[in-house]
């Protein structure tokens, strides 16, 4: 079975932890998709894993939905699930200092 999720490949470590804890034999493959690479889950059709995933999907209104809920409980902001795990943080004070230094080099006061 192949499931194409809307989850970024940046969270593959968290998902692998989930699969190990639930004793699921699922392989996560990276799918090239703009703006981030998403995950495709692959597992055997006639297996214990397939039965467990079917039951989990029924209880949680879908397997992809359940994985997103798991990531949210792990502290991932919902708006970052499809984008990836790396936030770009900017130090505004440092940016202002850099701008002031650059401004002086080009002759602005």
The tens digit of pLDDT for each residue in 8-67 reads 988 999 999 999 999 999 999 998 876 678 899 999 998 999 999 999 999 888 898 999
Question: What is the count of structural domains for the chain?
Answer: 1
Torsion region of 62: left, alpha or beta (phi above 0 gives left; psi -120 to 50 gives alpha):
left
pTM of the entire predicted model: 0.71
CA 43, CA 49: separation in Å to the nearest integer?
A: 7
The domain in which residue 49 lies consists of 2-105
Give which of 4, 52, 50, 1 is closest to 29, Cα–Cα: 4
């Amino acid at each position: 079975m192949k499931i194409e999720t809307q989850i970024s490949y940046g969270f593959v470590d968290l998902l692998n932890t989930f699969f190990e804890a639930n004793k699921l034999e699922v392989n996560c493959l990276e799918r090239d998709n703009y703006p981030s690479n998403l995950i495709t889950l692959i597992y055997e059709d006639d297996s214990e894993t397939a039965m467990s995933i079917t039951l989990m999907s029924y209880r949680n209104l879908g397997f992809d939905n359940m994985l997103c809920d798991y990531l949210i409980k792990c502290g991932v902001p919902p708006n970052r699930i499809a984008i990836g795990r790396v936030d770009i943080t900017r130090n505004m004070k440092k940016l202002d200092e850099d701008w002031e230094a650059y401004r002086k080099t080009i002759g602005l006061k």
